[in-house]
Amino acid sequence: MTGVTRRGFVAGTSAAVAAGWLSGAAGTAWADTGTPPPDEDGSRLWLRYPLVADRRLLDEYRRDLRYVVAPDTDGPLGSAAGELSRALTSLLGRDVPIRRKVDGAGPLVLRTAASDAGPESYTLRRGRVDGTAAVIITGGADRGALYGAFHLLRLVQTHVTLDRLDVAERPRNPLRLANHWDNLDGSVERGYAGRSVFGFAELPELTERHSTYARALASVGLNGTVINNVNANAQFIAPEMLFKLQPLAALLRGWGISLYLSLNFASPMILGGLTTADPFDAGVKDWWRTKITEIYRAIPDLGGFLVKADSEGQPGPISYGRTHADGANLIAEAAAPHGGIVMWRAFVHDFNALEWSNKAYETFKPLDGKFADNAIVQIKNGPIDFQVREPAHPLFGALPNTNAMMELQVTQEYTGQSTHLCYLVPQWQEVYGFDTHAEGSGTTVAKIISGRTYGRELGGVAGVMNLGDDTDWTRHQLAAANTHGYGRLAWNPGLKARDIAEEWTRQTFGNDQREVAVITGLLLGSWQTYLDYTNPLGVSFLIKGDHFTPSPQTNTGWHQADAEGTGFDRTVATGNGFTGFYHRPVSDRFENLSDCPDELLLFLHHVPYGHRLKSGKTVIQHVYDSHFDGAAEVGRMRDRWRELRGRIDAKRWADTAERFDRHREQAILWRDTIAGYYFAASRVLDERRSWVQVTPTGNAAICLIGGRENLVRLSLANASAAEAELVAGLPERDGWTSGTAGLVLPSKGDGTVDVPVTPSLPPQVLTLRPTLRSGDLPALIAEQPVITAPAGEHCLLAVDAGSASSPLLDGYRRLSPADAWADGAAYGWVGGAPQSRDRNIAAPLLRDFVNDTRARALRLTVPAGDHELHVLVGDVHDSFPTTVKVDGKVAAVSEFLLGGSFTWLNFAVPGGRTVELEFSSVPGQHWHLNGLVILS
Ligand code: GCU
């Protein structure tokens, strides 16, 4: 990219301002005058078209791009012409109209011509049209022309001269899709930027946001979008919904984007009233054939379908004794006459750490060659679930006779959500570039999924999106770089991360050299930094159920840290056999400790803390160093952003500065939690640092009683070479009162203290951040998850649900399966009793619960007046969502909770009568009920 100085030029002409959608002038000019550019809200993403601030380039562009020549047509070619005209008018600060033919100097000619490189290819060249020198965009077909138009705009936005214009491009992947995990109610599973961008409830009405969405996808070459969650609601293919989706499909079509839908495999039962969803049942086949025909009547160019089956509680073919291929082929066959495809997800697993890495491979490998031609297996980048680092999925290169595509996660479920900056392009490139050796050296994942390795027409990539209805789309302004980078890599995985990051920065913020250098640097280093202070050496799942908060206690099975060592043995020789799924020499490299790459060491091997890495450090010292260095680096990232103050518009600068403040806090929490955990486990002192630390006592949340004094037990340890005196305390927050407790510990010693605390009354789920003082020694502080339950004497209703005999929380009444409803009772089951479980942990309210896979109803006498009912849900094991209905209407649904997490569901109930509470979960899974409370 050419760097040009634009000193002394102050941007902003009346023509540019009059263009209306102009988003402020370029950075340098403003920075040089010391005044920040006008505020922006991020809503235009990288499709900002501010006046070109470089005088020389502006003159050049104005000379060569006077008007657009394009046929009078709609569809992608028409969209391309419109985008060029509007964008150039804004970028060049004067009207760039659309004409039908060349008439005068400076035409930008947009046209199509069939090409060997395919309909999505394009060239950008200089040439003569009707005797006039012209800049010519030639698309292999309409979509190609659209992508060419966006390429030209990129050049202008990033200040590249068009002097020697000679571009020939074609996409490497046939399918380049966005996957949205958006629900019918507007919520977004693993969405961290607000609610769904589609506004399902308001459809068929469309807004400007829908257009911006489509333009943004098209601008980076994406050609399809699956608009609803893989945990699919069957209503998406109900007739009313199809009607509502038509205008959206039409809008997307105009930008070269095909609409796809996620299907619920049990739709024939849910929508059709059939008694089975068995793929071999003639009625089921008929139902799908008719339904899919109806869908294509509504949306004739629908791309096809995505299915998550027999995974995490979703229905599928396995329950009927059929295979995943049978399931996929059922849909594929019905879609084939309409030119549709089915993407069938390979994400099947047990919630069991031992099995998880192996299940998808073991399930799908034997099915190779059994899938229909219009079916494609969609495989996550790694064998687990979008962890910070995983080896490439062993299914890549294991299915030579099956169409395969890759699924990446753009939304940062496990990589800091919208709080941490984590630019994932380097992570994705590592996977694309992974050499499977399936057909000899050079059989990269990129090559396999493009279809080239096995000569398959279908192939490509899907990215689980990070967009929401927040004004800036991604909540963290810099997270939109992931959206952009995903698309650019889908187009060409061979692009350089630096170039992609720089391009996005210039488009999004401006061409000021300093700004570009700082932001590009922040993006490029951020994944490695995130790895450093979170999950070193390939360990995964060091988090709580929110997939955000550090908690190595929650899922110890994944890192297997004990007194001697850590890591997950996935070798053939002594572990779960996973390394054997790879082709040679990859399998050997992974199997042999001495060859195993450091960055995957703990993913593949269990090693002693003193094991030496290739870097020469021991594993434990690496854990300490990477966490301290990583967290310190986040502090420097924050400072580098702060130095940009005044160069970037105040609004986006301040929004992002706030994100960096939170990012830094969280990085320190990660550092303290993980370094502290590993010291507590290993008792190996850090060679470079000394500290004292406080860690939670167990892996589950503790339960405190609101409105009474409790003692909170904290584990303290001395990670210094000398004896130390430690004083621990708890914060006084929102009406809480607390004290302190102290302890003297020898070097490497540990012990517990009981700190008094009186929480406020209302039920809460929160984390307590203890304090710790010990002279001048720094303190590592891990947070303690806490559930509070109001003292029974302050409640109208205080119920501890569970078995008929386990201990009750003081002041709470028992609810067990034995409590059947009787007239005049306070509560009781109607229409059948549920089950119960007792996990035998310390906290009476948390240790047991009532549960069932069937929906069960509890009748409850609610005292007069309006009340809020609080329902406690959770388990020491993972729990699927619990849905609570009040008199038949859904009042609350809990999220999927990983083991040891609990949540209070709060909702209003009418008083002065009985209400019927119905508890249910997803099919085949248990709902949970641990407690019920109404405050007085
Ligand atoms: C992850 C994620 C779920 C999602 C699942 C999937 O486990 O946490 O929310 O449904 O992946 O990809 O199907």
Query: What ligand 1 atom has the least distance to the C-alpha of 231?
Result: 10
What the chain holds in terms of domains, given with CATH numbers, is 14-169 (3.30.379.10), 175-495 (3.20.20.80), 533-568+606-675 (3.90.1330.10), 691-788 (2.60.40.10), 792-935 (2.60.120.430)
Q: Are 730 and 712 in contact (CB under 8 A)?
A: yes
The one catalytic residue among 385, 439, 598, 725: 385
Query: What ligand 1 atom has the least distance to the C-alpha of 230?
Result: 13
Atom 12 of ligand 1, nearest CA residue:
347
- Report whether pLDDT(346) > 90: yes
- Report the distance separating Cα 590 and Cα 600, nearest Å: 8
What percentage of the chain carries pLDDT values higher than 70? 96
**pTM attached to this predicted model:** 0.90
Tokens 């060409």 belong to 492
Q: Are strands 867-874 and 224-226 parallel, antiparallel or unpaired?
A: unpaired
18 pLDDT band (50/70/90 cuts)?
A: very low
- Report whether pLDDT(924) > 90: no
305 pLDDT band (50/70/90 cuts)?
A: very high
DSSP assignments along 413-439, one per residue: TTTTTTTS----HHHHHHHHT-B--BT
Distance in Å, CA 190 to ligand 1 centroid = 8
Atom 11 of ligand 1, nearest CA residue:
385
Whole-Å CA distances, 133 to 145, 166, 229, 436, 783: 19, 15, 50, 48, 67
Query: What ligand 1 atom has the least distance to the C-alpha of 229?
Result: 10
Query: Using one digit for the tens of pLDDT, what is the confidence trace for 684-732?
Result: 999 999 999 998 776 667 899 999 999 999 999 999 999 999 999 998 8
CB count in 10 Å sphere of residue 633: 18
Query: What ligand 1 atom has the least distance to the C-alpha of 189?
Result: 9
Distance in Å, CA 793 to ligand 1 centroid = 41
**More confident of the two residues 29 and 456:** 456
CB count in 10 Å sphere of residue 746: 12
Lining ligand 1 with CB less than 6 A are 189-190, 230-231, 308, 312, 347, 385, 413
Distance in Å, CA 71 to ligand 1 centroid = 45
Distance in Å, CA 176 to ligand 1 centroid = 20
DSSP 690: -
Looking at the chain, how many residues does it have?
A: 936
Backbone angles phi, psi at 707, to 5 degrees: 85, 5
Q: Are strands 764-768 and 784-790 parallel, antiparallel or unpaired?
A: antiparallel
Atom 7 of ligand 1, nearest CA residue:
385
Query: Using one digit for the tens of pLDDT, what is the confidence trace for 810-855?
Result: 999 999 999 999 999 999 999 999 999 999 988 999 999 999 999 9
Task: Give SS3 for 742.
Answer: strand
Which residues does residue 18 pair with via DSSP β-bridges, in sequence order? none
Is 385 designated active site? yes
Distance in Å, CA 787 to ligand 1 centroid = 26
Question: What pLDDT score does 699 carry?
Answer: 65
Q: Which H or E run contains 250? A: helix 239-254
Q: How high does pLDDT run on average in the chain?
A: 94
With the CA atoms of 93, 95, 99 and 101 taken in that order, what torsion angle do they form, in degrees rounded to the nearest 10? -60
Atom 10 of ligand 1, nearest CA residue:
231
Query: Using one digit for the tens of pLDDT, what is the confidence trace for 474-521?
Result: 999 999 999 999 999 999 999 999 999 999 999 999 999 999 999 999
Is 413 designated active site? yes
Question: What pLDDT score does 120 carry?
Answer: 98
Question: What pLDDT score does 734 carry?
Answer: 84
CA distance between the termini of the chain: 67
DSSP 22: -
> How large is the average pLDDT for residues 748-768?
95
The one catalytic residue among 312, 469, 599, 725: 312
Distance in Å, CA 226 to ligand 1 centroid = 15
Query: What ligand 1 atom has the least distance to the C-alpha of 407?
Result: 12
7 pLDDT band (50/70/90 cuts)?
A: very low
Tokens at residue 504, please?
């996005």
CA angle 218, 222, 224 (to 5 degrees): 105
**More confident of the two residues 1 and 127:** 127
Query: Using one digit for the tens of pLDDT, what is the confidence trace for 370-388?
Result: 999 999 999 999 999 999 9
Whole-Å CA distances, 687 to 326, 535, 625, 690, 777: 57, 20, 9, 8, 15
Question: What pLDDT score does 34 carry?
Answer: 62
Query: Using one digit for the tens of pLDDT, what is the confidence trace for 175-203?
Result: 999 999 999 999 999 999 999 999 999 99
351 pLDDT band (50/70/90 cuts)?
A: confident
